[in-house]
Amino acid sequence: MIGRLLLALAAAFALAFLLSPTSFAVLFQPLTRNGAPAIYTQASLLRLTLFHLGIVALAVLISTAVALALALFVTRPVGREFLPLARTITTIGQTFPPVAVLALAVPVMGFGTGPTLVALILYGLLPVFENALAALTGQPAKVAEAARGMGLTPAQRLWQVDLPLALPLLLAGMRLTAVISLGTATIGSTVAAKTLGEVIIAGLLSSNTAYVVQGGMIVGIIAVLIHAGFQHLERRAARATGQTD
């Protein structure tokens, strides 16, 4: 109960700040020096937040689609021998620094959202892939026996049994990817992508701590809310499939 109340308060504060940031100037004024402005006004904080969330949402959806497709492929008889290759691909995406991806993508794609999206997609593959793989390969043997006993075809078993049972773990992987992507997306502003990193970078360049705190605060609150939201969905999915009380 207390946790939900704190989440609601954090969400209300973030929304109020984004709708009217200048109303909170007094809170950030102590973090400025030499009469610098307390609130970032070079661009709309609400607009930057929406752009930021849009990039992250698109990256998570694409990462999930690609990673789930890979997991499904390598857990079918025809694709089992490609499991090491799939693991290598998703691991490289996680270990290759996003900054390096941006540096390689900019000459090809130009400045803007494109390079950032590529970096986030690559970075988000591993959590979804490993969770989907664990969910699809870790189901009890009696489930497969029951599906065969009901006369389900492989496709019917996939859609009616395997994927519903895998959903809680799949959502957990999406949660990790979403939270990681939310923070990582801030570096997209170094290549002219519209993200909250613009506020943080402006603060660093002007030695204005208030800007840095504002950008970090919004990202942090949204990350906590996304984390809690996905956890709620995971619990509901687990209850719906009888995996928990």
User: What are the chain's domains?
Assistant: 2-240 (1.10.3720.10)
Number of residues written out for the chain = 245
The angle subtended at Cα 223 by Cα 47 and Cα 193, nearest 5°, is 40
Q: Given pLDDT bands bounded at 50, 70 and 90, which one contains residue 190? A: confident
Q: Which of 45-49, 97-101, 103-107, 156-160 has the lowest mean pLDDT?
A: 156-160
Q: Given pLDDT bands bounded at 50, 70 and 90, which one contains residue 147? A: low
Helices (H), the chain: 2-19, 25-28, 45-74, 83-95, 98-109, 113-137, 141-149, 154-157, 163-184, 197-206, 209-240
Can you tell me the distance from the alpha carbon of 198 to that of 205, in angstroms, rounded to the nearest whole number?
Answer: 11
Can you tell me the distance from the alpha carbon of 5 to that of 118, in angstroms, rounded to the nearest whole number?
Answer: 36
Can you tell me the distance from the alpha carbon of 10 to that of 225, in angstroms, rounded to the nearest whole number?
Answer: 8
Can you tell me the distance from the alpha carbon of 245 to that of 240, in angstroms, rounded to the nearest whole number?
Answer: 9
Helix (H/G/I), strand (E/B), else coil: 55: helix
The angle subtended at Cα 19 by Cα 3 and Cα 111, nearest 5°, is 100
SS (H, E, C) 71-106: HHHHCCHHHHHHHHHHHHHHHHHHHCCHHHHHHHHH
- Tell me the pTM: 0.90
Rounded mean pLDDT of the chain? 88
Q: What is the pLDDT of residues 47-89, one digit of tens each?
A: 999 999 999 999 999 999 999 999 999 988 888 898 889 889 8
Q: Given pLDDT bands bounded at 50, 70 and 90, which one contains residue 245? A: low
Residue 60: the pLDDT is 95
Residue 143: the pLDDT is 66
212 or 240, which is more confident? Answer: 212
Nearest to 160 by CA among 175, 170, 148, 174: 148
